[in-house]
A = this chain, B = another copy of it.
Amino acid sequence: MTTVFRGARARGAALAIATLFTAACVASTTPAAAPAPSAAATANAAPITVSPSSPIKEFGTMWTFDAPPLQYWKARYGFDATPEFLDHLRLSAVRIPGCSASIVSADGLVMTNHHCARSCTTEVSPKDSNYIETGFVAGTAADEKKCRNMVADQLQSIEDVTATIQKAITAATPAEQAAQRSAEIGRVQQACAKETGLQCQVVTLYQGGRYSLYRFKRYTDLRLVMAPEGNIAFYGGDPDNFTYPRYDLDLTLVRIYDNGQPLKASHYLKWSAGGAGEDELVFVVGNPGTTGRLNTLAQMAFLRDVQYPNQLDQLKRQNAVLKELSAKGDADTKKRYQDVIFGYENSIKAITGYRSGLLDSSIMARKAAFERDFRARTNANADSRAKFGGAWDAIAAANAERASFATAARFQAPTGSTVLTLALNLVRVAMEEPKPDSLRYAPFRAPNALAGTKAAIGREIPLDLAQERGFLATQWEAALAALGPDDPFLKAALNGRKPADAVAALYAGTKMTDAAARKALLDGGLTAINASTDPMIILARVLEPLQRAHALRTAALTATLANNAEKLGQAIYAAYGTMLPPDATFTLRITDGVVKGYPMNGTVAPYKTSFYGLYARAAEFDGKEPFALPRSWIAGRDRLDMSTPLDFVSTNDIIGGNSGSPVVNRRGEVVGLIFDGNIESLPNNFIFTDDVARSVAVHSRAIPVALRTIYNAGRIADELEGKKP
């Protein structure tokens, strides 16, 4: 089934899962000046010039706190970042699950996005109400509501452990090396945790070119202080998601408690009186989740020409099915499908955005120029040439092979049908269960993998059969066009019939929609499977070897790609040092940028929006969803200064995971709160540009105004602004 994601928000959440929150240490980060390029790079008269005061723009500005580009900032902005400035920002920032956040008062008030605290806001809601809809304001400290699962990690120190990790890797094969690496990372983390009592995480930078040990102090008692209504936090809903101009108050305030009392924060960000101004230098401090800027041209071409088009094709086909079902359904059905459709359309928007960068010849030309330079630097040194020089061609070859069977792999699959997926697993369990664990098909080898699959097969699950039939029919229509009627899977599936007719017969004839029937077949083992005349099982038996062959081939190529990606990571660090910031890793970064409008849709987008604009959008859509205003905002309208800034854009380099990051000025004061990137920033996934790509933030001035005027929350506004109550 397709993974449908919903913008910056969900990307952040997904990343949290992949992030390590394991063990614990103490120390202080001492930012070192960015190292000079390696001798090999300096010796080579490459076409791209790079120096500590002029890094390669295309790699963006997601700087780690142990290698801030001090000379670049000085040269570009005339700004001297002191160790105190950087330590203050680092210790004022906290990482929360899937997102970024910052401490913004002496009493441990924490600012993040509404969507980052969504689960807390939901779980502390009363039974008969939902704070996501109604909003929430704690009138007094006693009213602040404890979040069950929220933690906040404050970065205490960073230590380069590259040598330690690399020394432990002595084996010859990629698979053995991976096991050694994993074991050594675990050992370092555990030792650190034991020694310091902190959360310790070894972060893999440059695809394995560097390893850094990050030590965090973890706070576990966080309480909800204030959340506006979802309608104003996510104003404009899915249509406006990823876009600008924007009118969102995407804010939630929680408070860190320590030993049952509000945290006496040693570091917190002060509030700026004026907020972000046009052309102003600003920094964003937060945890960007993942980027692919070290991708080679071949990897980008594969995404552009194979993976993204295939994903878009499937999303669009399935979305058409959903729209048809929605159109035919009653009001409830329509609403249900509408939510799914919005999710699909957001995914289509996102992937189209990523792909647009890969289709942009000027962006690809910049990438190609970099790759030429990088290869030349790598090949200029005999040692690095021997170690890394073959990686580009190996990656290109692996991608070419992936492309060669991508169409068959795509359509010889149970895509769109949960029932067919269950039937396929039934066949596989029957085949694999009798084998000893070490000889099983890899996905069934992990502890409990077989048991888990068996449990899932026998469990009652909700099935939307109308949707399944629609998805499968559109899938087979597309398969027929791509593979032709003689494809072995299609031959079995269609048997000369039209896809819709074949699907209808398949579902009419199968019992596999029934959990008890699946369970019974499961219990019968391979003999029962082989004897089954259920059409879904018959089809699954044909599909199984075809799909498995593709999966095995893909897994082998993925390992080759990872191994060569790691080589390039080592090579890039050797060639350019920290003048290229590493790809995002959902750990703390600081990015510089400027508050700035941009050319848009034939005209210009302003650097900021205003309350006027919010009420304009509501009026211009006649107050229809998702442009309806909460009642509090309708009631408070005449008390607002309409020209107050609401959101703004800047050229900072952010991505999913940065949600909730503070935007600060040269004095380290809060001028904004990151909550999204514009649609033009999606290609920044692969190559950073700031012609029209922008990060989108709530303007700091909107927050106390809304707190006082709309939410009667002067207590909190005073605390933010550092005023005595």
Contacts and interface: CB of A to CB of B under 8 A. Distances in A.
Given A243-B603, A609-B620, 5 more contacts: A243-B601, A607-B620, A608-B620, A613-B620, A616-B616
A620 B613 CA distance: 8
Interface string A236-258: 10011011010000000000000
A601 to B, nearest CB: 5
Nearest to A236: B603
Nearest to A239: B603
B617 A615 contact: no
Given A239-B603, A242-B602, A616-B613, A278 B608 contact: no
Given A609-B620, A612-B612, A616-B612, A239 B643 contact: no
A245 B608 contact: no
A508 interface: no
A585 interface: no
A349 interface: yes
Interface in A654-695: 679
Contacts of A349: 602
21 contacts: A239-B603, A240-B603, A242-B602, A243-B603, A349-B602, A353-B602, A601-B679, A602-B679, A606-B621, A607-B620, A608-B620, A609-B616, A612-B612, A612-B613, A612-B619, A612-B620, A612-B642, A613-B616, A613-B617, A616-B642, A619-B643
Given A243-B601, A600-B601, A601-B243, A617 B606 contact: yes
Interface of A: 236, 239-240, 242-243, 245, 278, 349, 353, 600-604, 606-610, 612-613, 615-617, 619-622, 642-643, 679
Copies in the complex: 2
B615 A619 contact: no
Contact of A642 (B601, B606, B619, B622): B619
A617 B604 CA distance: 11
Given A600-B601, A609-B616, A622 B243 contact: no
B601 A601 contact: yes
Contacts of A600: 601
A237 to B, nearest CB: 9
A342 to B, nearest CB: 12
A245 B613 CA distance: 12
A92 to B, nearest CB: 29
A567 to B, nearest CB: 37
Most buried by B among A236, A612, A620, A643: A620
B602 A615 contact: no
A620 B606 CA distance: 6
A604 B613 CA distance: 15
A245 B601 CA distance: 10
A616 B613 CA distance: 5
A656 to B, nearest CB: 16
Contacts of A612: 612-613, 615-616, 619-620, 642
Contact of A622 (B239, B278, B617, B679): B278
Most buried by B among A242, A612, A615, A617: A612
B606 A610 contact: no
A610 B621 CA distance: 10
Given A609-B620, A612-B616, A620-B245, A604 B642 contact: no
Contacts of A619: 610, 612-613, 642-643
Nearest to A641: B619
A657 B110 CA distance: 58
A236 B239 CA distance: 25
Contacts of A607: 620
Contacts of A606: 617, 620-621
A191 to B, nearest CB: 48
A615 B604 CA distance: 16
A608 to B, nearest CB: 6
Most buried by B among A602, A608, A609, A621: A602
A668 B689 CA distance: 51
Nearest to A599: B239
A602 B353 CA distance: 9
